[in-house]
Structure 1
Amino acid sequence: MSDDRTATMPAAPVHFEHWCDYPGCIKWGSFGKERSRGITEWRCGEHLADDYWDGRSTPRN
């Protein structure tokens, strides 16, 4: 009996660089907020947008 399944290669790993979008900041942008379809604003923890947690549960301290 033959195996009719086709072998597929896994997708290539993709790495995106997200730096903080705050003017003059060179830190890593860990927090992304989608501003419009396909456009995400990335910020570091220090420059987190005021509306970042809108509609989300805030982290527990």
Structure 2
Amino acid sequence: MILLWPSRQSSFGATFTVVENIVAASMLGRAALILIGTKVEHPGSVGLLGIAVLVWFGDTT
């Protein structure tokens, strides 16, 4: 739901930038914790890392 809302907005404000940075940082942090905690055995870390990268790329365009 959080990712759907920004994709539908035509104008982005400062609030969106803050939310975007929070989502990207939290997904990257969670991916790192899962990678370290499971010794790279859990595939969920790849999904979280993918979300973080996609949110970051969405911010740069």
Coarse TM-score class (shorter-chain normalised):
under 0.3
Q: Quick check: which one's strand share is greater? A: 1
If the length of structure 2 is used for normalisation, what is the TM-score? 0.18
Which fold has the larger relative contact order, with Cα–Cα distance below 8 Å and residues 6 or more apart in sequence? 2
Larger Rg: 1
Q: Quick check: which one's helix share is greater? A: 2
